[in-house]
Amino acid sequence: MSNAVSALNKASYTGFADVKEIGLQGMITLRGDLGTRAMKKAIKAACGLAVPGIRAVNLGKDTAVAWMSPDELLVLVPYDAVDSALTSLHKALAKQHFMAENVSDARAVFRIFGPKSREVLAKLCPVDLSTEAFQPGTIRRSRMAQIPAAIWMTDAQTLQVICFRSVADYAFGVLKVAAMPGSEVGYLA
């Protein structure tokens, strides 16, 4: 059996904001009726958090649950806890129409942090990243340069980006270029 490795082995870059691939992250795509009592109980049991509202992400200490569409959530748990979270979801939702799949090894996660972190993604995504429009706990699915990505803030200076693992090197490259010292726009900082 081989050892799991992240897409870029925790690659990092320091510019006017820091960019880092965070390493292995457990992720479960969950689809179903998000409004049912069974779904709400299942999410709580699997990761300790409530089902988020539209375009929101609920954050725990080492877990998160993100709204991805009207019938889809992304559940984040420690990498080694995915199997137990999936078992919990399958048991709790056995009488519901749902789908829960481990997508941990199909995705890459990046963290952009620093006082100018919003500027990095503002250069790459057609999303209003002003403090009025984009706060911690807000999530958007959009394009980052030429690839699909989901972005959210964990705190006032930290953004997370999830993309497909197959484009992780490209994503890291565009994030590095966008964070290059001297390229600050100064609009969002």
What is the domain-level CATH number for residue 40?
3.30.70.1520
DSSP secondary structure string, the chain? -PPP--SSTT-EEESSSEEEE----EEEEEEE-TTSHHHHHHHHHHHS-PPP-TTBEEE-SS-EEEEEETTEEEEEE-GGGHHHHHHHHHHHTTTS-EEEEE-GGGEEEEEEESTTHHHHHHTT-SS--STTT--TTBEEEEEETTEEEEEEEEETTEEEEEEEGGGHHHHHHHHHHHT-TT----S--
Place of tokens 């959210």: 152
Nearest to 121 by CA among 107, 140, 93: 140
What's the confidence (pLDDT) of residue 137? 94
- Residues 85 and 117 both lie in one domain: no
Instruction: Return d(Cα 179, Cα 33) in angstroms, integer.
Output: 39
- Residues 90 and 42 both lie in one domain: yes
What's the confidence (pLDDT) of residue 139? 97
**C-alpha count within 13 angstroms, C-beta hemisphere, residue 111:** 16
Q: Is 89 part of a structural domain of the chain? A: yes
- Residues 48 and 119 both lie in one domain: no
Tens digit of pLDDT at every position of the chain (189 positions)? 568 889 999 999 999 999 999 999 999 999 999 999 999 999 999 999 999 999 999 999 999 999 999 999 999 999 999 999 999 999 999 999 999 999 999 999 999 999 999 999 999 999 999 999 999 999 999 999 999 999 999 999 999 999 999 999 999 999 999 999 998 888 775
Decide which of 105, 129, 146 is a domain's last residue: 105
What's the confidence (pLDDT) of residue 4? 85
Q: Which helix (H) or strand (E) holds 186?
A: none
Instruction: Return d(Cα 143, Cα 173) in angstroms, integer.
Output: 15
- Residues 66 and 128 both lie in one domain: no
Decide which of 105, 129, 163 is a domain's last residue: 105
CB within 8 Å of 80: residues ≥ 6 apart = 26
Q: Is 3 part of a structural domain of the chain? A: no
77 near 47, Cβ under 8 Å?
yes
- Residues 71 and 123 both lie in one domain: no
- Residues 33 and 96 both lie in one domain: yes
What's the confidence (pLDDT) of residue 189? 58
- Residues 16 and 56 both lie in one domain: no
Q: Is 75 part of a structural domain of the chain? A: yes
* Residue-number span of the structural domain to which 87 is assigned: 26-105
How many Å is the Cα radius of gyration of the chain?
A: 17
- Per the structure, how many domains does the chain have? 2
Q: What is the CATH number of the domain that holds 110?
A: 3.30.1360.120
Instruction: Return d(Cα 75, Cα 32) in angstroms, integer.
Output: 13
What's the confidence (pLDDT) of residue 173? 98
Q: Is 185 part of a structural domain of the chain? A: no
Q: Is 2 part of a structural domain of the chain? A: no
